[in-house]
Amino acid sequence: MGEFVRVEADPANPAVAVIRLDRPKMNALNAQVQREIGAAAEQVGADDAVRAVVIYGGEKVFAAGADIKEMADMSYADMSAHSRALQDSFTAVARIPKPVIAAITGYALGGGCELALCADFRVAADDAKLGQPEILLGVIPGAGGTQRLSRLVGPARAKDLIYTGRMVAADEAQRIGLVDELAPAAEVYSTAVAMAARYANGPAIALRAAKQAIDNGLETDLDTGLEIERLHFSGLFATEDQKTGMRSFVEQGPGKATFSGR
Give me the active site residues, please: 114, 134
* Cα separation, 17 vs 204, whole angstroms: 14
Strand partners, 109: 131
Phi, psi of 73 (to 5 degrees): -100, 10
Strand partners, 29: 66
Contacts 24+ apart (CB under 8 A), 212-218: 212/97, 215/94, 218/151
* CA distance from start to end of the chain: 28
* Cα separation, 21 vs 3, whole angstroms: 10
Residue 152 three-state SS? helix
**Angle at CA of residue 118, ends 195 and 169, nearest 5°:** 75
**Angle at CA of residue 87, ends 53 and 15, nearest 5°:** 10
Cβ neighbours, 10 Å, residue 76: 6
